[in-house]
Amino acid sequence: AQKVTQAQTEISVVEKEDVTLDCVYETRDTTYYLFWYKQPPSGELVFLIRRNSFDEQNEISGRYSWNFQKSTSSFNFTITASQVVDSAVYFCALSPPIYNQGGKLIFGQGTELSVKP
């Protein structure tokens, strides 16, 4: 079975603090994709990153960074020097391989991040 777990339901930080959102996944597939999405209060999902299961390199994009570790089935997301505009619900998601229901996304429960000024 495929499953994504985001154990942190809510996180509250003060502006400029660093914050890490955890994501643990389960799958029997050797090929899969992992994603992070941001959902601001407006409701629209904003794509942040997609990671192929064969690519374990960490990635940095501005204040955002991702740590992918297959050994622990984790794909954590860190925001450095958080800002009020980062306040949103963040979802981690897993997609099966293309040859097996490829495209469908299994979402974690989401982590609501609140950044206070």
Name the site residues for other proteins (rule: CB under 8 A). 33, 37, 42-45, 47, 50, 91, 95, 98, 101-110, 112
Max Cα distance, the chain (Å) = 46
For other proteins, the closer of residues 39 and 73 by Cβ is: 39
Residues 6+ apart with CB under 8 A from 106: 2, 3, 4, 93, 94, 95, 96
DSSP state letters, 1-50: --EEE---SEEEEETT--EEE--EEE-S-SS-EEEEEEE-TT---EEEEE
Least distance (Å) from other proteins to the CB of residue 110? 5
Please classify residue 61 by burial: count the beta carbons closer than 10 Å to its beta carbon, then call 0-12 exposed, 13-18 middle and 19+ buried. Answer: exposed
For other proteins, the closer of residues 16 and 102 by Cβ is: 102
For other proteins, the closer of residues 72 and 100 by Cβ is: 100
Least distance (Å) from other proteins to the CB of residue 84? 21
For other proteins, the closer of residues 41 and 62 by Cβ is: 41
Least distance (Å) from other proteins to the CB of residue 16? 27
Least distance (Å) from other proteins to the CB of residue 52? 9
